[in-house]
Structure 1
Amino acid sequence: MSVATIDDAGLVPAGPMTSEERKVIFASSLGTVFEWYDFYLYGSLSAIIAAQFFSGVNPTAAFIFALMAFAAGFAVRPFGAIFFGRLGDLVGRKYTFLITIMIMGLSTFIVGILPSYAAWGIAAPIILIILRLFQGLALGGEYGGAATYVAEHAPHGRRGFYTSWIQTTATLGLFLSLLVILGTRTWLGEEEFAAWGWRIPFLLSIILLGISVWIRLSLNESPAFKKMKEEGKTSKAPLTEAFGRWENAKVALVALFGGTAGQAVVWYTGQFYALFFLTQTLKVDGPTANILIALSLLIGTPFFIVFGWLSDKIGRKPIILGGCLVAALTYFPLFSLITHYANPALERAQATAPVTVVADPSECSFQFNPVGTSKFVTSCDIAKSFLARNSVNYSNEAAPAGTVASIRIGNQTIASFPGAGMPADEFKEQADAFNVTMTEAIRAHGYPAKADPDQINKPMLVVLLTILVLFVTMVYGPIAALLVELFPTRIRYTAMSLPYHIGNGWFGGFLPTTAFAMVAATGDIYYGLWYPIIVAVMTFLIGLFLMPETKNRDLRHWH
């Protein structure tokens, strides 16, 4: 098999793509698709997993708990980036991302055979979250390795195009996970799928793991790393060199706040938050929402390559920062239109029957309950929890201290009840009665139990969701090339991985949980959008003034 070469200056010569380069891109991308598939199965099935593993807590807390377990995989990604990045700079790119894919594949397979809460009690969710942590660690080492490996094989002046193929993998992995879920759901039916069929997509990952390992074993080491190793110029302490020296640490901070943080929130808003918004807020049924998202991904994915190629021509900065800015300016109108075309009955009810919670502000909590242990029992929390679960927008009105909260809807006022100190059986009885009364009231005022399938305008939703995906392709297509070019070869794997995974793992991964809690606190179904908007604007401003343009840099500098 031919091996990609570099000249005496350390550059891969420009020219048509060789068969070896095509294989490198294909193998790195395919393995990374499988890895993202494993990671995103959990997010796509969060509602079913909440029922299977967190069934001992109330529905609102269970959903937030499930989202936090989803986020647990993101929380440790920077630590995976540090550990595997160091390994990749010390021993090589190829073997490091062989290890990461094995950890990811095995963790996913074990989720598929893990007994539920009903069988194992609290041990089940604890083991689930441990497996999510292993997945996050593995993914922390995977992306930097794949991006660095491809970039170091790419000819000068074509790195944006070459690495953009890696950028398609996250979306293709999500698309593949949705496709497998949809196929299994259709084959088994909703009831069987919810009971046990959800395990099949996790179990299939063992086949994908075998294919990925087989492909990656046939690859050669990156030519830039190989040449550097032959010359004895590899870093002895990549972590210290990358983050212990201010000149490198400063670049990593700019890469995080002026690049990956904004890229991450746009990515997660356009793909994951859009899915959560459709299913949880607008009550669109799961299969329909998944088909709509899958279609938008199918249409939008080629634009990762388009924007990667374009970044070789006009630069990385204008495309990434332009994507952040246009997303921040258009999220509110776009999500309002999604409501209009997905659940027009909900939109009408919000306009014609506004709801107000009248309560003593000191009784109202910020209902962010990641571990499902808090009990929200004040009259205000009981009222707001019901409205948040049923996607009812509301405004807040302060009442005198000690007042029992009430909900005003149209010309009707319904009192909540103070549950603090109440015996469990009495609390349940009162809560059930309150829920029945409130459900009747909101239905009478036009708030629907779910989106009416006949009223869903699917073509328009595909257009709107595709626009969100296009923002994703703008910010994400060129980001790998930008990060690779910012750092020298000897610390590249370590230095680029950490800002990427803090941005995507923390700023992006915690977006659904944070947005959900913000909506529950304020009563505005769109309020959670402020989180990605503020982060995207921050990245635009910091990137504009502090981020260098990197498209004309070469990768021959070891230092």
Structure 2
Amino acid sequence: MNSVPVEKKLSTHSYRKVAIAACFGTFLEWYDFLTFATLAVVFGPLFFPSIDPSTGLLASLATFGVGMVVRPLGAAIFGSVGDRIGRRPVFMITITLMGIATVSVGFLPTYASIGIWAPILLVSLRLLQGLSAGGEIGGSAVYLTEHAGDSNRGFKTSFLQLMGPLGILVSTLQIALLQQWLSHEEFLSWGWRVPFWISLLLLLLAFKARMALEETPIYLQLSKTEMQSKNPLRDNLTDPETRKRMFLLFFCISAGGAILFFCVQVYTSIFLKTSVKLPSPLVDQLSVYATVALLPLTIFAGWLSDKIGRKPVVVSGLILGATLILPAFHLMQIQNQSTLFIAAILIGLSAILALVVGPQTALLAELFPAKTRNSAATLPHNLAAGWIGGLLPLIVTWLNQQWVSDMAGLWYPTIFLACGAIVAILYLPETKKIDLRQ
């Protein structure tokens, strides 16, 4: 009897309104979080001055990685809160923390003004961003999927995966326009701060949109029957089946998606600027092309997973990623390649990324039971995104420096994706027909 009212709410609720509000907030989280990555090359000399430019870049990438490393802590805290008191309250907290931290970056004095305190404050704000993102990214997937109903979940929820690319796209376009309008000296003096200041306006809009969000019908049903877990994290870790699925989510789906995301959306820009030596405006233009292509490809992959299953779509992306990353970067490194050729490579890499992330939102929720779903999904997802994906630019750059090669570090994502594909083929279950109310 309990399932009837839940199904009714799922079918009559204005899903579009819920999706827009949830996605806009997640867009802000990604915009804030990834603006830092886009400006990694700029932050090096401003906050980590060094005679050796490579050392400054490495320090800047390490600061970006710090924010990713603490994401699992945010996931553990906010994921459990979401299972105990509801999905909606967590959204309000995380978006506020992220907005405050990001706006503050825009007002930070540089190393030239306050010395060592500049990088210390920058790292502190990155830690706050990481905690916030840990609660938001993953939890929003559960929230949206629980509102999506039983049919076409892959397609409906794939739109959430567009928020990361859109965050990068808006950030990249802003920075490209600022660099075009301002002189190099003006941009280094104050122009780099503008994207962080703009996030204040986005924060106010996102906060207003989220105030109108309703709790998911599945969680409301749990609360009515008092079936919430009192200690979700402990329950997840003591249940063998949940532990197994948390590992599969971590190793195959989330780590694979994170590695491809940071290879395609973050590291390619760094690689083209520092190794291929392409002009920054041209690299930003190429990044825009690749990101625009990623948007429909991601939705298509989500739709395809509704037709043939989540597993074959994700496994295909992992196999193609492991096979083609090294050749793709090698081809981009060859001198005198046309801009069109490099753009085609980036779009091809985007298609591989879409295969993994398109079904990802639905999978995050479908793998776990309702009463511990939020914490079970957010912890391994953020652990993978933070420790595997977020540290990828740093690890790849460090390996390249150790081996005095622009390509050596790319063996790290290649091997990881290959292992993830093998494990997924053997153990990942098909989940597209799962009843989310169970």
TM class by shorter chain equals over 0.9
Residue number in structure 2 paired with 1:24: 18
Q: CA deviation at 1:12?
A: 5.8
Mapped to 1, the partners of 2:204 and 2:51 lie a distance apart of 38
In the alignment, structure 1 segments of 5+ residues that lack a partner are 1-5, 345-455
Q: Confirm or deny that 1:110 pairs with 2:110.
A: no
Q: CA deviation at 1:14?
A: 7.9
Percent identity of paired positions between Structure 1 and Structure 2: 38
Alignment of 1:437-476 (within 5 A): 457-476=338-357
Residue number in structure 2 paired with 1:166: 160
Q: 1:8 aligns with which of 4, 15, 18?
A: 4
CA displacement 1:292-351 (0-9 Å, x = unmatched): 1111111221111111111111111111111010111112221122123xx33xxxxxxx
Q: Confirm or deny that 1:514 pairs with 2:395.
A: yes
Alignment of 1:415-426 (within 5 A): none
Alignment of 1:223-372 (within 5 A): 223-340=217-334, 343-344=335-336
Mapped to 1, the partners of 2:184 and 2:285 lie a distance apart of 15
CA displacement 1:502-556 (0-9 Å, x = unmatched): 1111111111111111111222321111011101011101111111111110101
Please, what is the CA RMSD of the aligned residues? Answer: 1.6
Mapped to 2, the partners of 1:306 and 1:253 lie a distance apart of 27
CA displacement 1:99-139 (0-9 Å, x = unmatched): 10110011000000000011111111011001001101100
Q: Confirm or deny that 1:61 pairs with 2:55.
A: yes
Mapped to 2, the partners of 1:329 and 1:85 lie a distance apart of 35
Q: CA deviation at 1:13?
A: 7.5
Q: Confirm or deny that 1:100 pairs with 2:87.
A: no
User: Secondary structure of the residue that 2:435 maps to in structure 1?
Assistant: coil
Q: 1:203 aligns with which of 197, 210, 234?
A: 197
CA displacement 1:484-513 (0-9 Å, x = unmatched): 101111111100011111111111111111
User: Secondary structure of the residue that 2:147 maps to in structure 1?
Assistant: coil
Q: Is the 8 A contact 1:258 1:546 kept in 2?
A: no
Q: CA deviation at 1:22?
A: 0.3
Mapped to 1, the partners of 2:210 and 2:139 lie a distance apart of 12
Mapped to 1, the partners of 2:384 and 2:223 lie a distance apart of 30
Mapped to 2, the partners of 1:39 and 1:57 lie a distance apart of 28
Residue number in structure 2 paired with 1:190: 184
Mapped to 2, the partners of 1:130 and 1:243 lie a distance apart of 30
Alignment of 1:398-409 (within 5 A): none
Mapped to 1, the partners of 2:391 and 2:227 lie a distance apart of 39
Mapped to 2, the partners of 1:548 and 1:164 lie a distance apart of 19
Q: Is the 8 A contact 2:326 2:414 kept in 1?
A: no
Q: Is the 8 A contact 2:147 2:217 kept in 1?
A: yes
Mapped to 2, the partners of 1:331 and 1:227 lie a distance apart of 45
Larger CA Rg, structure 1 vs 2: 1
Q: Is the 8 A contact 2:146 2:218 kept in 1?
A: yes
Q: 2:381 aligns with which of 500, 508, 524?
A: 500
User: Secondary structure of the residue that 2:21 maps to in structure 1?
Assistant: helix
CA displacement 1:402-433 (0-9 Å, x = unmatched): xxxxxxxxxxxxxxxxxxxxxxxxxxxxxxxx
Q: Is the 8 A contact 1:295 1:462 kept in 2?
A: yes
Residue number in structure 1 paired with 2:138: 144
Q: Is the 8 A contact 1:265 1:508 kept in 2?
A: yes
User: Secondary structure of the residue that 1:30 maps to in structure 2?
Assistant: helix
Q: CA deviation at 1:57?
A: 5.8
Sort the Cα spacing of 1:12 and 1:496 in 2 relative to 1 into closer, same or farther, 3 A. farther
Mapped to 1, the partners of 2:48 and 2:35 lie a distance apart of 17
CA displacement 1:168-214 (0-9 Å, x = unmatched): 11111111111111122222233211221100111111000000000
Mapped to 2, the partners of 1:555 and 1:222 lie a distance apart of 12
By percentage of residues, which structure has more helix? 2
In the alignment, structure 2 segments of 5+ residues that lack a partner are none
Sort the Cα spacing of 1:484 and 1:12 in 2 relative to 1 into closer, same or farther, 3 A. farther
Sort the Cα spacing of 1:300 and 1:254 in 2 relative to 1 into closer, same or farther, 3 A. closer
Residue number in structure 1 paired with 2:28: 34
Residue number in structure 2 paired with 1:555: 436
Sort the Cα spacing of 1:120 and 1:528 in 2 relative to 1 into closer, same or farther, 3 A. same
Alignment: residue pair count: 437
Residue number in structure 1 paired with 2:85: 91
The TM-score with structure 1 as length reference comes to 0.76
Mapped to 2, the partners of 1:90 and 1:242 lie a distance apart of 14
